[in-house]
């Protein structure tokens, strides 16, 4: 179980978020947890993609790394 946090919102922001939560049929706390969880997943994927680009750039620039990966072939993206 996570730890509780406290967030201070201006009135307009709170009303907007409460409306969005009501439209989904959930309370504000539940809605904010869903929004936060979705954003955390997006940030993790973004970080993984950035790390993958870094590895790809390294492999492209380093002959020894290219040789290491040459036996594995080039991913086609099929079946993923």
pLDDT above 70 (res 77): no
Number of C-beta neighbours around residue 36 at 10 A: 13
Instruction: For 15-70, write each residue's pLDDT tens digit.
Output: 999 999 999 999 999 999 999 999 999 999 999 999 999 998 998 899 888 888 88
Pull the structure tokens for residue 29: 């706390």
Residue linked to tokens 């072939």 = 73
The residue to which tokens 């079946």 are assigned? 79
* pTM strictly above 0.85: no
Helices (H), 1-80: 11-24, 28-61, 63-70
Contact between 28 and 35 (Cβ < 8 Å): no
């Amino acid at each position: 179980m996570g730890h509780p946090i406290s967030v201070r919102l201006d009135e307009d922001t709170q009303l907007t978020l409460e409306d969005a939560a009501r439209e989904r049929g959930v309370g504000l706390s539940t809605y904010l947890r869903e929004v936060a969880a979705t954003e955390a997943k997006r940030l993790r994927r973004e970080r993984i993609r950035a790390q993958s680009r870094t590895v790809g750039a390294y492999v492209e620039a380093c002959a020894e790394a290219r040789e290491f990966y040459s036996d594995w072939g080039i991913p086609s993206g099929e079946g993923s």
